[in-house]
Amino acid sequence: MDNGDCLVSIITPMYQAEKFIQRYIDMVLAFDYRKLELILVNDGSTDRTDEIVNANRERLEKAGIELKYLKFETNFGQAYAVNEALKLITGKYMLWCDVDDIYLPHCISKLMEALRNNPDCKIAFSNCVVVKYDDLENPVKIPKHQVEHKDILADCIFDRKMMNSPLRGFVETEALFSVLKNKSIYVSRLGQNFQIIMPVVARYKWAYVEEVCSKYVLYPSSHSHTWNLRKANRDLLNLFIHIFDDMDIPESKKRYYKFLAYYKFVMRELNNLLRININFKRKFIRIVLFSKEIINTEWNK
């Protein structure tokens, strides 16, 4: 059931994706919105990813879905792959999908409907369920996402509420490129979704679809489990600082959100290094941050 004739660009960076790419292509072919531009970026895979993509070209073409396929000989990382995909977008809307998660047939039409019903909004999110890789039909968790967000940028920093959905946002391309410098994101090993979402929601209103439109799949050895936690924590802090430095928001707000990012960083460091009681951590970190704020205030007088 199509809701219109606007082209939707789907970007998907992938690496060693042979276990998922066939399911992913079948999923795209099952979308009830069919005016699609599928941009796949093979980031130096050495498995059968390339073979499987090429084997499905004809199916996609017969379905009226344009395939734009980039293949790198070297693995440059997801952020680089996303930037290359962004250069190829021609659709009015953009959806970023991970190759190993699941997006339901109605997700694009529902998200587009949400934006059309709310013309002031430029990005739409939706609910999701969490499933295990070996049982995709029975959710192990159904997150309770609250739609009345008082501070969505803080939600991004603390990765709460709807921010843990695999649907990183269905966004108007023009709005996205209006907030991304040089139409690209910062090249980092993690946090690419934040770089798409946060600049958009800082400037524009957003809509929310309560209906489940995706499934977040849990795998036994995911990136979040294998990546060095302390290094990831520091990299994430640096990423947030970079994002806020580039945002077109008042300096006072930049300082506030950097403060929240620093708070999250220290809490994680304490959790990883000290393994102490959570209540003590909170009291301790409040003292540290309060002291730091006092020192900075006095220093700048």
Residues 128 and 265 in one domain: no
Cα angle 259-264-266, degrees, rounded to a multiple of 5: 95
Q: Say yes or no: 190 and 110 in one domain.
A: yes
| Integer Cα distance of 76 and 58 in angstroms | 28
Residues 202 and 150 grouped into a single domain: yes
Please report the pLDDT score of residue 182 as a whole number.
86
Which pLDDT does position 3 carry in this prediction?
46
Q: Is residue 2 part of a domain?
A: no
- DSSP at 141: B
Q: In this structure, are 152 and 247 located in the same domain?
A: no
Same structural domain, 62 and 134:
yes
pLDDT for 26:
98
The rounded average pLDDT for each run of 10 residues, N- to C-terminus, in the chain (301 residues) is 75 96 97 96 97 97 97 93 96 94 94 94 90 90 64 83 63 95 83 86 90 88 54 86 91 92 84 61 63 54 48
Q: How confident is the model at residue 189, as a pLDDT?
A: 74
Supply the pLDDT for residue 287.
Answer: 62
DSSP letter assigned to residue 65:
P
User: Whose structure tokens read 């344009």?
Assistant: 66
Query: Which residue(s) pair with 124 in the sheet?
Result: 170, 207
Q: In terms of residue numbers, what domain contains 26?
A: 8-218
What is the rounded distance in angstroms from the CA atom of residue 264 to the CA atom of residue 157? 8
Which of 218, 245, 280 lies at the terminal end of a domain, its last residue? 218
Are residue 117 and residue 74 in the same domain, yes or no?
yes
Counting the structural domains of the chain, the total is 2
Of the residues 152, 183, 218, the one at which a domain ends? 218
- What is the pLDDT, as a whole number, of residue 146? 54
In the chain, DSSP finds a helix count (H) and a strand count (E) of 12, 8
- The whole-model pTM stands at 0.83
| Shared domain check, 250 and 120 | no
3 is a domain residue: no
Give me the pLDDT at residue 267, please.
Answer: 82
- Show which of 186, 201, 218 is a domain's final residue: 218
On whether both 156 and 34 belong to a single domain, the answer is yes
Q: What backbone torsions phi and psi does residue 165 show, to the nearest 5 degrees?
A: -80, 145
Coil, strand or helix at 149: coil
Q: What is the CATH number of the domain that holds 46?
A: 3.90.550.10
Residue 191 sits in the same domain as residue 75: yes
Check residue 24 and give its pLDDT. Answer: 97
